[in-house]
Amino acid sequence: MGRRAKFTEDDFLDAALRLVASGGVRAATVSAIGSTLGAPSGSVYHRFASMELLLARLWIRSVRRYHVGLIEALEGDDTIAAALHMVRWSREHLDEATVLLLYRAEELAATWPDELGEQLNTLNSAAIAASIAHGERRYGRSDKVFRDRLALAIADIPFAVCRRHLVHGNPPPADADDIVADLCRHVLGSIPQEDT
């Protein structure tokens, strides 16, 4: 019977998350991750074939965690809650929000590991499907004009509001909720009629 591993995959990802959030991608080295955990550097490579694989898995995990609440709000047909999800999630998960909103996937893993290519290609599929279904149920729209407006309201605006605070290491302030909600209402209240 083999010995049980002292550190889980999530332990390594959490260590990398803290390092990237506080010092940027270059701070997440094998030795720094090992040191953060109190583990030998070799244990990092025992779990992950490369740093690119570790950072790519960190990105995927963070996106999936973010999507849980977003999809829940969309399935509940609450557009404002969907728009506010990024702001509130950023406050509660500052390190993950920092990694997701300040670094693109290709900045974390310059060479995306081949074995994760399909996961990256389908990473946003459930959120996109939930968004389209939400538009059809709530607004009776799923055309491109509407989808672009909805993406602006629930993704682009909250991203811009959050990013300007995260870049300084701060969570979005309380008034960010009102700003995002007001802009969401404005964008969706001014949707042009669907072309016939």
- What CATH number is associated with residue 173? 1.10.357.10
When pLDDT is cut at 50, 70 and 90, the band that residue 194 belongs to is very low
78 within a domain of the structure (yes/no) = yes
pLDDT at 171 over 90: yes
Q: What is the pLDDT of residue 107?
A: 75
Q: What is the pLDDT of residue 5?
A: 64
Q: Tokens for 162?
A: 């959050």
Rounded to two decimals, the pTM is 0.89
Q: What is the pLDDT of residues 77-127, one digit of tens each?
A: 999 999 999 999 999 999 999 999 988 777 776 677 778 777 878 889 999
Amino acid at 42: G
Q: Three-class SS of residue 151? A: helix
**Pairwise CA distance, residues 124 & 184, whole Å:** 21
195 within a domain of the structure (yes/no) = no
128 within a domain of the structure (yes/no) = yes
156 within a domain of the structure (yes/no) = yes
∠145-106-48 over CA atoms, to 5°?
A: 130
The total domain count for the chain is: 1
154 within a domain of the structure (yes/no) = yes
Over residues 156-170, mean pLDDT: 95
194 within a domain of the structure (yes/no) = no
Q: What is the pLDDT of residue 191?
A: 62
1 within a domain of the structure (yes/no) = no
Q: Which residues of 42-68 are buried (b: 16+ CB within 10 A; e: fewer)?
A: ebbeebbeebbbbbbbbbbbbbeebbe
196 within a domain of the structure (yes/no) = no
pLDDT at 2 over 60: no
Q: What is the pLDDT of residue 82?
A: 97
30 vs 41, more confident: 30
Cα–Cα distances in angstroms (integers) from residue 81 to residues 11, 50, 67, 102, 155, in the given order: 31, 38, 13, 23, 12
Range of the domain at 21: 9-189
Q: What is the pLDDT of residue 116?
A: 79
Instruction: Give me the chain's average pLDDT, please.
Output: 90
